[in-house]
Amino acid sequence: MGRRILFITTDQQRYDTLGCNGGELGRTPVVDRLAADGIRYERAVPQSVVCMPSRSTMLTGQHQSTHGVWMNGVPLPVDAPSVAALLHDAGYRTALIGKAHFEPFLDPFGRFNENRLAALGTETIDAPQFGGGTGPHRGFDHLRFATHGATGWLHYAAWIGAEHPEAVSDYYSVVDADLEVNAAGFGDTGAPQVKHNPIPRDWYHTDWVAQRTIDWLAGLDADDDWFCWMSFPDPHHPWDPPESELHRIPWREVDLPAGYPESAAERERLLDDKPRHWRLWYDGQLVSNYEAPSRWVPSTLTADQVREVNAMNAIEVELIDEAIGRVLAEVARRGWTDTVDVVFTTDHGELQGDFGLLFKGPYHVDGLMRLPLIWRPAPTAEVGPAVVTAPVGLVDLAPTFAEIAGIESQPWMQGERLPTSDADARARGIDQQLTAWDSELFGVGVHLRTITSNGWVCTTYLPGTVHDGTEGELYDLSEDPLQRVNRWDDPAVRALRDDLVAQLRDSLPAERDPRLELEAPV
């Protein structure tokens, strides 16, 4: 049998929120230590910059065109390949604790298994065999689901509703008939989806996920091989960490991020150099991602609101780091440290003030595309510390888990085992990653295809509601790390652009046919 695996994910976390990646706002000593002892990836890329497609890629090791989850609200088929099932069949104990999101979770009629599995006595559920269950599902023996806050029918929502009903309304309410509330802010600056949350820290979902993970590990036999996916819902918006923790990072003392142009004229100039949907969203004329409040106009975002959002985000990151520390202490208590590989990453990033924008959407720049990724191999693996600059992807996680477990990569996996060094990447020809976006929402269709290769990011636009198929973006990551200069129409790099576009088109997997249907809200 191979080594044990602790797979840790967050939701919507930027690369630069970790100290090991140059972050200076939040303190992340636990993850920084994993990076110092293991492999830190400088250019980890998601195959999608939105939750459900990206998480489906983590589970299946496939691009969204293959697994079929092309946007939020499209459920991953129950019979989709699963690396957890592969490990389970090889003798591993398997668990997923926290946010799964392979299926929509706003599901009042219990159509999707993840909600039916977790539901506790909900009258709309007509499948009692699912009520209050913990598995099995998708190859996991044990599942305890959570999303951000107390919304829905998942295990955390049921727990807090039963044990601490007075705290249910403490969270920011993102599900409200009044969309003005969804865009409102309840902090100090009026920043959208910020709230000072009176919930006690022990009841907050970050500590809940960590404690349920510890409980599961504590119940295993000493000689069990196991794969545990611990999935934190933070630091995804809304930004409402426990009020007791706000002292950690006073927002008034926070510097503005490098990606935020303070001048409105400068913001507008930069946006006008990009395809049309950038400026249309900024001006409040187009929404192409329903997780961004539909009535919020990004041009109203103020510098102080950016400071407050970044402070709240960093507090949530600190709480995650401390929670990881508690889980690693349980691993050590069980005597497993030398036999456990730890992999830490997220599903996609967050704009967090870049270009005067928040949230996410069809914007393939570093705020959303450059991910934290750390692999601390088990000390018994004798893989030395390294920093890898070659582009790697979330599609590479499943084959990496298979190799850790001593199992051959499967034909349905489309990625490769993560390189352990740049020399390893060169020897195996790892030099590109692909990212796709498809959305059809509010009558607006936006479709992007992107290649990251040899220090460049090249994005092509398929015909849609606001694009005719001729637009694109091209950025030189070494000379323009903030992606402010779109060189798509620059004659000096026309040949390079054409080569990258050809490379992209030659590399794209075939689209799933027929396409899966959009079935529910996110």
DSSP letters for 397-408: HHHHHHHHTT-P
Residue 396 lies in a domain: yes
Distances (CA, A) of 500 to 111, 197, 305, 431, 464: 42, 47, 38, 12, 22
Contact assessment for residue 213 and residue 207, using Cβ atoms and an 8 Å cutoff:
no
The total of structural domains in the chain comes to: 1
**Is 474 part of any domain?**
no
Single-letter amino acid, residue 118: A
Element of type H or E holding 320:
helix 303-333
Q: Is 10 within 8 Å of 304 (Cβ atoms)?
A: no
Sign of the alpha-carbon dihedral angle for 137, 138, 142, 147: negative
For residue 370, tell me if it sits in a domain.
yes
Token pair for 233: 């819902």
Q: Is 337 contained in some domain?
A: yes
**Residues forming a β-bridge with 452:** 433, 457
Q: Which position has the token pair 């349920």?
A: 212
- Token pair belonging to 60: 């299946």
Task: Please state, in angstroms and as integers, the Cα–Cα distance from residue 461 to each residue in 13, 187, 435, 450, 471, following that order.
Answer: 25, 38, 12, 9, 6
pLDDT attached to residue 460: 98
Dig out the tokens for 112 from the structure. Answer: 């999707």
Element (H, E) at 344: strand 340-346
In a domain, 423, yes or no: yes
Q: What is the pLDDT of residue 180?
A: 57
Asked if the structure places residue 445 within a domain, the reply is: no
With respect to residue 513, please indicate whether it lies within any of the assigned structural domains.
no
- Rounded CA gap, 463 and 367, in Å? 25
Half-sphere exposure of 135 (CA within 13 A, CB side): 19
For 302-316, write each residue's pLDDT tens digit.
Answer: 999 999 999 999 999
Q: Which of 387, 435, 428 is nearest to 409 (CA)?
A: 428
Predicted local distance difference test score (pLDDT) of residue 127: 46
Pairs from 31-37 (Cβ < 8 Å, separation ≥ 24): 31/321, 31/324, 31/344, 31/372, 31/374, 34/342, 34/344, 34/374, 34/376, 35/374, 35/376, 36/385, 37/376, 37/385
DSSP letter for 179, please.
Answer: H
Per-residue confidence (pLDDT) for residue 510, from 0 to 100: 96
The residue segments making up the domain with residue 230 are 4-260+297-430
For 460, counting Cβ atoms within 10 Å of its Cβ (0-12 exposed, 13-18 middle, 19+ buried), the class is buried
394: in domain? yes
Report strand pairing: 39-41 vs 373-376. Answer: antiparallel
Please give the Cα distance from 338 to 332 (Å, whole number): 9
Domain with residue 246: its CATH number is 3.40.720.10
Residue 291 is predicted with a pLDDT of 83
For position 110, what pLDDT does the model report?
Answer: 82
Separation CA 236–CA 349 (nearest Å): 9
Residues with pLDDT less than 70, the chain? 1, 119-132, 176-181
Q: For residue 129, give every residue at least 6 positions away whose Cβ sits within 8 Å of its Cβ, in sequence order, or none.
A: none
